[in-house]
Amino acid sequence: MRRRSLALGVPAALALAGIRPAAAQGTGDWPNRPIRMIVGFAAGGGTDLTARTIQPKLQQLLGVSIVIDNRPGAGGNLATEIAVRAAPDGHTLLMGTIAALAINPTLYRNLPFDPQADLTPISQSGSILNVLVVPADRPWRSMADLVAAARARPDTLTYGSSGIGSAGHLAGALLDQMAGVKTVHVPYRGGGPLMTDLVGGKVDFSFATAPTALPQVEGGRLRALAVPTSARSPLLPNVPTVAETLPGYEVGNWYALLGPRGLPRPIVDRLATAMRTALEDPEVRRHLATHGVEPTPSTPEELARFIRDETAKWAPIIRATGATPD
């Protein structure tokens, strides 16, 4: 009886959200079972937190459970390959990131997939703030202090990232290039494991995502030195940009929802509409904002262009920095 009452409530919820039932949109009986949303990083990181913030609203709109499936490894490549190989029936989705979608195609020589050819774009999800943080017991109080320490001790200072090819990885590589220093990259399987070691002092600094970094900064366990954006963040108005020390420095970070190649257009359209509705929900926006995530819903075509542009933008930077997946 309870299951039946829930099912009867779905059409009403969809009508209130401006989304027609599946049959009216040409999606047949989709979705007819739980949807798996694959996340390429461990639980507790920015990608995972963003997916889990959007998840409840999407469940309400689509009328089925959405299961978050964390598959960390190779900077999101493992999760992306799983999504690429899945049946294009709308029951397997990928919360993709700048790493696997725009950076790794240049960073890795022999990827087993092509993000632009083997995935179906649905909608952008959000852009997220990264923060340059150091353990509270380190002596550095500014970006200039960190650069000076790196210059004095080549190949000694370590920086952690949520994985090879992540925005945090490339932010460190770009710092090395622009500041003329040599630091050591330590990749993790997500922002959660990275934060554990960073707070414990096992790595010296990180361009960590705001969802994982800000609670530690507020708790006094980490110190925020800078943000890699073009302007200061409203979340940290007193924290300077890296560009104030290294003019021209800027690294963004973003997430997007995609499916396997061949996903039927009616399903793509319904998912894109549901994503826009979810990301425009005041409670979802409020929760994302507390984590430094700006919702950025888009059409499938806008996302496809965005991925092409980001790939073209990062390719020369990756080559210039000499960053490698090793």
- Percent above pLDDT 70 for the chain: 92
Dihedral of CA atoms 210, 216, 221, 227 in degrees, nearest 10, equals 10
pLDDT of 291 reads: 83
190-200 pLDDT tens trace: 888 999 999 99
Residue 109 has pLDDT above 90, yes or no: no
User: What is the DSSP-derived secondary structure letter of residue 180?
Assistant: T
Contacts of 85 by beta carbon, 8 Å cutoff, 6+ apart: 260
Task: Return the CATH number of the domain spanning residue range 130-244.
Answer: 3.40.190.10
Averaged over 19-33, what is the pLDDT? 65
Of 5-9, 28-32, 67-71, 128-132, give the lowest mean pLDDT range: 5-9
* Token pair of 128 as six digits: 């997220």
The two three-digit tokens of residue 277, written as one number = 């509705």
The reported pLDDT for the residue numbered 26 is 60
Q: What is the pLDDT of residue 53?
A: 96
Please tell me the predicted confidence (pLDDT) of residue 21. 43
- Please state whether 114 falls in left (phi above 0), alpha (psi between -120 and 50) or beta: beta
Please say whether the beta carbons of 320 and 248 come within 8 A: no
**Would you say 73 and 99 are in contact if contact means Cβ atoms under 8 Å apart?**
no
> Is 81 exposed, middle or buried (CB count within 10 Å of its CB: 0-12, 13-18, 19+)?
buried
pLDDT for 2 equals: 38
Query: Looking at residue 20, what is its pLDDT?
Result: 42
Alpha-carbon span 170 to 46, nearest angstrom: 16
Q: Would you kindly state where each structural domain of the chain is located, as residue ranges?
A: 2-128+253-321, 130-244
130-244 and 2-128+253-321 share a CATH fold? yes
Phi, psi for 37 (deg, rounded to 5): -110, 110
pLDDT by residue (tens digit) across 159-189? 999 888 888 999 999 999 999 999 999 999 8
What pLDDT, on the 0 to 100 scale, is given for residue 112?
A: 93
Question: What is the average per-residue pLDDT within 238-248?
Answer: 96
Contact 131, 236 (CB under 8 A): yes
Distance (Å, whole) CA 75 – CA 103:
10
What is the DSSP code string of 63-91? Answer: SS-EEEEE---GGGHHHHHHHHHS-SSSS
| Three-class SS state of 92 | strand
Q: Is-contact 275 297, C-beta < 8 A?
A: yes
Q: Report which of 307, 254, 277, 314 is spatially closest to residue 121, judged by C-alpha positions.
A: 307
| Per-residue confidence (pLDDT) for residue 326, from 0 to 100 | 67
Please tell me the pTM assigned to this model: 0.82
State the average pLDDT over residues 97-117.
93
Q: What does the pLDDT read at residue 100?
A: 93
The CA distance from 159 to 170, in Å, is 11
Cβ neighbors of 233 (< 8 A, separation 6 or more) are 129, 227, 239, 292
Spatial contact of 274 and 19, defined as CB atoms under 8 Å apart? yes
Q: What is the structure's pLDDT at 164?
A: 85
**pLDDT reading at 140 higher than 60:** yes
DSSP letter for each residue of 211-260: HHHHHHHHTTSEEEEEB-SSS--TTSTTSPBGGGTSTT-----EEEEEEE
pLDDT tens-digit profile of 302-320?
A: 999 999 999 999 899 889 8
| Radius of gyration of the chain from its Cα atoms, rounded to whole angstroms | 20
Phi, psi of 87 (to 5 degrees): -65, 140
CA distance 71 to 100: 13
pLDDT value at position 6? 37
The per-residue pLDDT of the chain, averaged, comes to 90
In the CATH scheme, what is the code of domain 2-128+253-321? 3.40.190.150
pLDDT at 22 > cutoff 60: no
Higher pLDDT residue, 143 or 13? Answer: 143
The owner of tokens 């925005």 is: 167
CA dihedral sign of residues 135, 39, 85, 165: negative
